[in-house]
Amino acid sequence: MSHWEVIEQIKRQAAPCRTICEVLRELWDLSEVTSEDLREEMQARLVDAYVMAKKMARKLREYKHQWPEDFWQANTDYEEDLRRRSDRPRSKT
């Protein structure tokens, strides 16, 4: 997955459960209101963390085939997150 594809997943998706990836998306949302100097560094690290979280989740599912669906707490503002993120302009490709 390319750098820009990861950014699109972070910026435009939302999950009904509050997974590690959803928390990283929330941090990306917060990074957009920080100073320009800090924003780039934060977002670069969030992309790295997101890629690592996806790899970790794949491995955990490989080790535990019957992963409990109720493991994660509900993302109570899922609809609002999805609406807000889908209104964002697309990233460079």
| DSSP annotation string for 69-89 | GGGSPB-TTHHHHHHHHHTSP
Average pLDDT over residues 9-24: 91
Question: Does residue 17 register a pLDDT over 70?
Answer: yes
Q: What is the pTM of this model?
A: 0.73
What pLDDT shows up at residue 23? 93
Beta partners for 17? 74
What pLDDT shows up at residue 92? 64
Domain ranges of the chain: 3-67+77-85
Per-residue model confidence as pLDDT tens digits over 34-82: 888 889 999 999 999 999 999 998 888 888 877 777 778 899 999 999 9
